[in-house]
Amino acid sequence: MTRTIENRAYGVDVSSFNNANTTEYTNAGADFVLVKVSEGLDYRNPKAKAQVDSTKQNNVVPMAYHYARFSNDPNLAVQEGNYAVSSAKLVGIAPDSYLACDYEQGSGNETGGNREDNTTAILAFLNTIVSAGYKPLLYSGAALMKNKINTARILTKYPNCLWVAAY
């Protein structure tokens, strides 16, 4: 199902910590559900397929995200991008859907490195998923985007791809 998502649309992200049934979110007005499909090179969300199927059954757009562990290594970012693409396809997130890179500090991802190196690695991931037909998103916190990621460089290549964490 391909639909346009308007700016500032309401969406939620879910992982294995959430229910496999996404009806509570869609009933609350979610326009999309971002499902964690993978992390690093060795984790796939065991509930992802059920979460994607439930989202589709509720006539809401499913999207995917991958939790990055590539830090500032562009070669590892390409490998993780390919892993994210295969993970998304396995659970029914088709090309032309959004696939986000969740870039945060922790769980094996080190963001304290050089700003430009971090950005180069993120772009390597985004380029990989785009070459597989997915639409790119970069998810991170505002402080990290301001201090450790050159968002201008990312937006030059992929306008409107930022998803800023808000709690």
**Active site amino acids:** 13, 104
pLDDT for 1 = 45
Supply 61's token pair.
């757009």
User: What does the mean pLDDT of the chain come to?
Assistant: 94
User: 42-56, pLDDT tens digit by residue?
Assistant: 999 999 999 999 999
Question: pTM to 2 decimals?
Answer: 0.94
Instruction: Tell me the β-bridge partners of 109.
Output: 106
Specify burial of residue 37 (Cβ count, 10 A radius: 0-12, 13-18, 19+): buried
Q: Work out whether strand 32-39 and strand 11-14 pair parallel, antiparallel, or are unpaired.
A: parallel
User: 59-94, pLDDT tens digit by residue?
Assistant: 999 999 999 999 999 999 999 999 999 999 999 999
